[in-house]
């Protein structure tokens, strides 16, 4: 059958949560984007079960966080390596000081809904098989039930997961280690459920995590030290899961029906680059690691938020192609940090030696007796500690840091996040008088006052907030010269002019 050719500005390969969120962000910024998804229907199974605080903040910036909060269950703590001493999220400085229990399948549905609301075409049963690039753009070929379809675009982004065809076609390597530890987890129906919504257990035989998904339906994840070195190729069975749960937890809780069972291990990989000219990666296409702490989904959504405004600026002609290099520079180290974090947790969970148990016992004692360590790990897991490096030593210390949702007066919206729904830069003038900036197609200039100033903001007179909610520039002395320097840092719009007095 003859191939069909479709022109757009960006092709997103993969219609999961990261692909849909990236497409929605691009569309919000005015980019003509198409999503290609190989599955005919959404995956009903949820690898991830939680949404972390920083991800909820990203949703709040676009005015859609309530879609998750309406039905999600907030949990004020999380685990590190399934320790009995949990990480305390309740004191974190955010409107969302908790982990939100919200299965990935539901997050995917909401993000697909968001993309479709904005007019993004999501083409199912479109399996990407090839991608090539030249000086003028990319050509992506997908197999469909109606034959081959060809898409011509300026850029293509792979959000298809570990087997990413976009990554393969870009000749980007995954660097890391394959699994030498092997585990099984499943969603099962039980007749003898515990009274608690979650169970975390650490015993001589291993560790165990169990969480309620519905009426008598639980996710069971045993770390069975007796079988963790046994690599198996055949599909996992209910009997296999039952045996592991009994060995670790001492009971199978009356499990009798498996809704979903899968294998996983301690494989950990990071792409050696996130971009090869016009082909880019986000989410699991760029990094893979053990599912400890629920970090994979959240890291991918934060990748997409960072990439979208930069890619939109390049596509719209507001920025040179080199801006895309900052995507890897900013997100790559965070991906590497999460890989190391999950490997460290795996080393504490899956260690059957006497030395390993001693290390685990000592680490758990530190978590319980040193609040600063507990808080540091909670901040890192939550995503709230994410910060991007400044350019020079003379830069304001806030540059690159996350902007909290502070209450403001004198603006159309009452909070900083309320000013960011359009995914544009925001020049927030806190000094009064002349802001030395004019609004543009990518920049909103907002005079306002902060109701309360957090530490580090006491003498702040102006700041430039990036579309991803990080400080692009800040000053304690707003002048024409400082505003010019700050606005030149980022692509705030072709029509922007610095005002004169």
CATH number at residue 446: 3.40.30.120
Query: Would residue 341 count as lying in a domain?
Result: no
Domain shared by 198 and 312, yes or no = no
pLDDT of 345: 94
pLDDT tens track for 292-346: 888 999 999 999 999 999 999 999 999 999 999 999 999 999 999 999 999 999 9
pLDDT of 90: 96
pLDDT tens track for 266-287: 999 999 999 999 999 999 999 9
The residue assigned the tokens 């590497």 is 336
Assess contact for 403 and 470: CB atoms under 8 A.
yes
pLDDT of 493: 72
pLDDT tens track for 365-374: 999 999 999 9
Length of the chain: 501
* Closest listed residue to residue 430, CA positions, set 376, 478, 368: 478
Domain shared by 254 and 279, yes or no = no
Domain shared by 291 and 429, yes or no = no
Determine the Cα–Cα distance for residues 304 and 106; give it in Å rounded to an integer: 18
Tell me the three state secondary structure of residue 404. Answer: coil
pLDDT of 5: 66
Determine the Cα–Cα distance for residues 331 and 298; give it in Å rounded to an integer: 13
Q: Is the pLDDT reported for residue 3 higher than 80?
A: no
Residue 50, C-beta contacts closer than 8 angstroms, at least 6 positions apart:
75, 78, 99, 100, 101, 102, 294, 298
Query: Would residue 401 count as lying in a domain?
Result: no
pLDDT of 501: 31
pLDDT tens track for 150-174: 999 999 999 999 999 999 999 999 9
Determine the Cα–Cα distance for residues 6 and 35; give it in Å rounded to an integer: 12
* Closest listed residue to residue 17, CA positions, set 99, 94, 141, 112: 112
Q: Is the pLDDT reported for residue 498 higher than 50?
A: no
pLDDT classification of 494: cutoffs 50, 70, 90: very low
Q: Is the pLDDT reported for residue 218 higher than 60?
A: yes
Determine the Cα–Cα distance for residues 75 and 301; give it in Å rounded to an integer: 20
Domain shared by 165 and 36, yes or no = yes
Query: Would residue 54 count as lying in a domain?
Result: no
pLDDT tens track for 421-443: 999 999 999 998 888 999 999 99
pLDDT of 392: 64
Query: Would residue 271 count as lying in a domain?
Result: yes
Domain shared by 311 and 434, yes or no = no
pLDDT of 292: 87
CATH number for the domain spanning 259: value is: 3.30.70.2450
Domain shared by 300 and 171, yes or no = yes
Assess contact for 64 and 114: CB atoms under 8 A.
yes
Distances in Å between the Cα of 109 and the Cα atoms of 12, 35, 44, 171, 326 are 17, 15, 10, 31, 30
Domain shared by 213 and 360, yes or no = no
Relative orientation angle of helices 354-369 and 325-349, to the nearest 10 degrees: 110
* Mean model confidence pLDDT for the chain: 93
> How much of the chain is in helix, strand and coil states, percent to nearest 5?
30, 30, 40
pLDDT of 2: 41
Domain shared by 259 and 205, yes or no = yes
Domain shared by 161 and 284, yes or no = yes
Query: Would residue 56 count as lying in a domain?
Result: no
The residue assigned the tokens 């009274």 is 195
Number of domains in the chain: 4
- Please give the average per-residue pLDDT across 238-252, as a whole number: 96
Among 242, 265, 288, which residue terminates a domain? 265
Q: Is the pLDDT reported for residue 497 higher than 50?
A: no
pLDDT of 391: 63
pLDDT of 86: 92
Among 306, 336, 366, which residue terminates a domain? 336
Three-state SS sequence of 329-368: HHHHHHHHHHHHHHHHHHHHHCCCCHHHHHHHHHHHHHHH
Query: Would residue 160 count as lying in a domain?
Result: yes
Domain shared by 280 and 146, yes or no = yes
Domain shared by 78 and 110, yes or no = no
pLDDT tens track for 11-70: 999 999 999 999 999 999 999 999 999 999 999 999 999 999 999 999 999 999 999 999
Domain shared by 29 and 160, yes or no = yes
CATH number for the domain spanning 279: value is: 3.50.50.60
Query: Would residue 143 count as lying in a domain?
Result: yes
pLDDT classification of 196: cutoffs 50, 70, 90: confident
pLDDT classification of 393: cutoffs 50, 70, 90: low
Query: Would residue 494 count as lying in a domain?
Result: no
Range of the domain at 370: 62-100+351-386
Determine the Cα–Cα distance for residues 321 and 280; give it in Å rounded to an integer: 13
pLDDT tens track for 55-104: 999 999 999 999 999 999 999 999 999 998 999 999 999 999 999 999 99
């Amino acid at each position: 059958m003859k191939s069909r050719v479709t022109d757009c500005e960006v092709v997103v390969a993969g219609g999961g949560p990261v692909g849909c969120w990236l497409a929605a962000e691009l569309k919000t910024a005015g980019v003509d984007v198409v999503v290609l998804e190989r599955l005919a229907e959404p995956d009903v199974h949820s690898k991830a079960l939680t949404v972390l605080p920083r991800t909820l903040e990203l949703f709040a910036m676009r005015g859609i966080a309530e879609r998750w909060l309406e039905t999600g269950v907030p949990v004020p703590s999380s685990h590190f390596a399934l320790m009995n001493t949990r990480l305390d999220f309740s004191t974190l400085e955010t409107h969302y000081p908790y982990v939100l229990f919200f299965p990935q399948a539901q997050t995917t549905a909401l993000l697909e809904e968001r993309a479709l609301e904005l007019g993004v075409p999501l083409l199912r049963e479109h399996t990407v098989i090839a991608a090539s690039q030249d000086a003028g753009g990319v050509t992506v070929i997908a197999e469909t039930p109606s034959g081959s379809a060809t898409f011509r675009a300026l850029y293509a982004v792979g959000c298809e997961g570990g087997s990413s065809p976009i990554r393969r076609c870009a000749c980007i390597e995954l660097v890391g280690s394959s699994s030498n530890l092997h585990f099984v987890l499943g969603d099962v129906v039980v007749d003898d459920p515990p009274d608690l919504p979650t169970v975390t257990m650490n015993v001589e035989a291993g560790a165990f995590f169990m969480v309620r998904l519905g009426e008598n339906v639980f996710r069971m994840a045993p770390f069975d030290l007796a079988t963790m070195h046994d690599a198996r190729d055949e599909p996992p069975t209910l009997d296999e899961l039952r045996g592991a749960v009994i060995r670790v937890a001492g009971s199978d809780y009356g499990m009798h029906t498996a809704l979903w069972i899968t294998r996983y291990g301690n494989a950990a990989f990071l792409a050696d680059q996130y971009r090869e000219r016009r082909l880019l990666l986000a989410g699991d296409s760029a990094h893979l690691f053990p599912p400890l702490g629920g970090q994979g989904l959240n890291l991918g959504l934060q990748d997409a938020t960072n990439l979208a405004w930069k890619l939109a600026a390049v596509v719209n002609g507001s920025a040179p192609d080199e801006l895309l290099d900052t995507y890897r520079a900013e997100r790559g180290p965070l991906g590497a940090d999460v890989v190391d974090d999950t490997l460290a947790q795996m080393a504490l969970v899956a260690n059957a030696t006497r030395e390993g148990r001693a290390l685990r016992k000592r680490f758990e004692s530190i978590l319980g007796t040193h609040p600063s360590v507990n808080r540091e790990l909670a901040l890192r897991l939550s995503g709230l500690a994410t910060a991007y490096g400044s350019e020079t030593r003379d830069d304001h210390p806030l540059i690159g840091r996350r902007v909290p949702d502070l209450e403001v007066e004198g603006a159309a919206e009452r909070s900083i996040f309320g000013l960011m729904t359009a995914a544009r830069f925001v020049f927030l003038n806190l000094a009064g008088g002349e802001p030395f900036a004019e609004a543009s197609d990518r920049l909103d200039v907002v005079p306002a006052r902060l109701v309360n100033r957090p530490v580090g903001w006491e003498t702040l007179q102006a700041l430039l907030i990036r579309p991803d909610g990080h400080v692009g520039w800040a000053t304690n002395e707003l002048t024409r010269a400082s505003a010019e320097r700050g606005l030149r840092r980022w692509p705030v719009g072709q029509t922007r002019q610095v005002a004169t007095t």
